[in-house]
Amino acid sequence: MMRSRFLGVGMYVPEKVWSNDDLRSMMDTSDEWIQQRTGIKQRHWAAANQTTSDLALIAAENALKKSGVKKSEIDLLILATLSPDHEFPGSACFLQAKLGMPGIPALDIRQQCSGFIYSVSIADQFIRTGMYKKVLVVGAEVHSRGLDRTTRGRDVAVLFGDGAGAVVMGPVPSSEVSKGTQSQILSTHLHADGNYAKELWIQAPGLAYPTENRVDPGAFERGEHFPKMNGKTVFMHAVRRMPEAINEALDQNGLKLDQVDLFLFHQANLRINEMVAKQMGIPEEKVFNTIDRFANTTAATIPIGMAEAEKAGKLKPGMLVASAAFGSGFTWASMIFRW
């Protein structure tokens, strides 16, 4: 049976760094308040002329270079984002034009924090069936221009950064799949529960908004165009669903927790990842976090983590890696792969 693997990973974050102290000029907060609640020390925010597809472009080019795969070899482009350049068309099309890769299919995946694993799962299935051989998967976000950067919105605003991560995926020769040590994606697992959709969402604008016109000035006055989050509910579900998803992946592959060399979790809040690791009995040295430097970059957190872990020498060829994410929707997902 055909399987897929990661051929290369790349990332990009904007140059401008905003420390926790920098946010004090915008809202009533402090470095101590933010670090105690989230583990975040700083974040990168995009320049005024940078879009999500701009960040995605640099990450994608870095991944292509690392993989040794030419643009002309890519059969499918997938972009995971909750911060598209425009409402339509999909930002994958804008990214495709900037990459100079016309003609191939380009998909937007709108699964927020779980978007990268969802995208990898889709790419994995296309490669397994033989429909496509080389797939470029990108997670990219520009959150900064959509945040309420006042005291009213600080509980959400301090959490998010801008950035992009990308991977190139390709097939594993059938003759090498059974060896077990060959780089490959073992399995992906996707879930959602829309009953909690309004616990972490942006209400307006939208076609479901109860007004004749899609844009209601009153909604902007009330701040309904900014993200809203029930933090306690999100935390409670995240620390339950992420371990479930990891255990599901382990069980399907007949693996035990101690066989995993590295855990790459979505970077929403360091306290969530610490709780997940504690509940599962995962040693601290096996969990690689980036949230202190980049904050929550949503669909980009896991590929950024992969790139940073490889750079730091924490992610090495042959390692067995488990990854999980949880976010708006609610959606959650996991994957196990050998690097």
Instruction: Note the pLDDT of residue 212.
Output: 76
For tokens 């209400």, name the residue.
203
Instruction: Note the pLDDT of residue 176.
Output: 67
* Domain at 184-338: CATH code: 3.40.47.10
**Other beta carbons less than 10 A from residue 234's beta carbon:** 21
**Which residue out of 266, 269, 273, 289 is catalytically annotated?**
266
What proportions of the chain, in percent to the nearest 5, are helix, strand and coil? Answer: 40, 25, 35
Strands (E), 181-327: 184-192, 200-201, 228-229, 262-265, 320-327
Alpha-helical segments (H) within the chain: 31-38, 52-67, 91-99, 115-129, 154-157, 174-177, 217-221, 231-252, 270-280, 291-294, 301-311
Is-same-fold flag (3-177; 184-338)?
Answer: yes
* Parallel, antiparallel or unpaired: strands 228-229 and 200-201: antiparallel
If you count them, how many residues does the chain have?
339
Domain range 3-177, CATH architecture: 3-Layer(aba) Sandwich (3.40)
Instruction: Note the pLDDT of residue 298.
Output: 98
**339 within 8 A of 43, measured Cβ to Cβ:** no
**Which residue out of 113, 143, 237, 273 is catalytically annotated?**
113
The domains of the chain are located at: 3-177, 184-338
Phi, psi (degrees; rounded to nearest 5) at 146: -115, 15
User: Could you list the pLDDT tens digit for every one of the 339 residues in the chain?
Assistant: 789 999 999 999 999 999 999 999 999 999 999 999 999 999 999 999 999 999 999 999 999 999 999 999 999 999 999 999 999 999 999 999 999 999 999 999 999 999 999 999 999 999 999 999 999 999 999 999 999 999 999 999 999 999 999 999 999 977 666 655 589 999 999 999 999 999 999 998 888 877 777 778 888 889 999 999 999 999 999 999 999 999 999 999 999 999 999 999 999 999 999 999 999 999 999 999 999 999 999 999 999 999 999 999 999 999 999 999 999 999 999 999 999
- The number of CA neighbours under 13 Å toward the Cβ of 144 is 24
Please classify residue 322 by burial: count the beta carbons closer than 10 Å to its beta carbon, then call 0-12 exposed, 13-18 middle and 19+ buried.
buried
For tokens 């995946």, name the residue.
109
**181 within 8 A of 338, measured Cβ to Cβ:** yes
Instruction: Note the pLDDT of residue 205.
Output: 87
Instruction: Note the pLDDT of residue 211.
Output: 73
**Other beta carbons less than 10 A from residue 333's beta carbon:** 30
Instruction: Note the pLDDT of residue 89.
Output: 97
Distance CA 7, CA 169 (A): 5
Helix (H, G, I), strand (E, B) or coil at 243: helix
**Which residue out of 20, 269, 289, 296 is catalytically annotated?**
296
Instruction: Note the pLDDT of residue 311.
Output: 98
Distance CA 168, CA 66 (A): 9
Does residue 191 have an active-site annotation?
A: no
Does residue 266 have an active-site annotation?
A: yes
Does residue 93 have an active-site annotation?
A: no
Q: Please give the distance of CA 60 from its chain centroid, rounded to a whole number.
A: 14
Instruction: Note the pLDDT of residue 217.
Output: 83
Compute the radius of gyration of the chain from its Cα atoms.
19
CA distances (Å), origin 148, targets 49, 153, 299, 330: 19, 5, 20, 22
pTM recorded for the entire structure: 0.96
